[in-house]
Amino acid sequence: MNDHSLFINSFEGSFIALLVYVDDIILAGNDKEEIVRIKQALNQTFKIKDLGDLRYFLGLEVAKSKEGIMINQRKYALELLTDVGLLACKPAPTPIDNHEKFSSR
């Protein structure tokens, strides 16, 4: 499977991934010097703005910690609930009574 918006460069233990979506770019990897070099090269050709560590992208919230990377859609879900007027609703473990009996009539 090919993804025409994902570019990967891997050499001598270094791994860099560059993902392009419209006018946004995510640049990730294990070689900070190579990431800086790529940013400089991109900035020479295009006017780029470095927004720092990834926090939000296409409805996904991204949080980095010592344990790893956590991705969730909490903000997106809250926006959906707000848009349909259900933000103040109380959660329920099931949408109907567990003991409800149905008949085939």
Q: Give pTM, 2 decimals.
A: 0.67
Which residues make Cβ contacts (< 8 Å) with residue 61, sequence separation at least 6? 55, 71, 72, 73, 74, 75
Per-residue pLDDT of the chain (105 residues; tens, 9 = 90+): 578 899 999 999 999 999 999 988 999 999 999 999 999 999 999 889 999 999 988 889 999 899 999 999 998 889 999 999 998 888 777 777 777 787 777
Contact criterion met (CB below 8 Å) for 63 and 57: no
Q: What is the pLDDT of residue 1?
A: 59
pLDDT digits (tens, 9 = 90+) for 38-53: 999 999 998 899 999 9
DSSP 54-74: --EETTEEEEEETTEEEEE-H
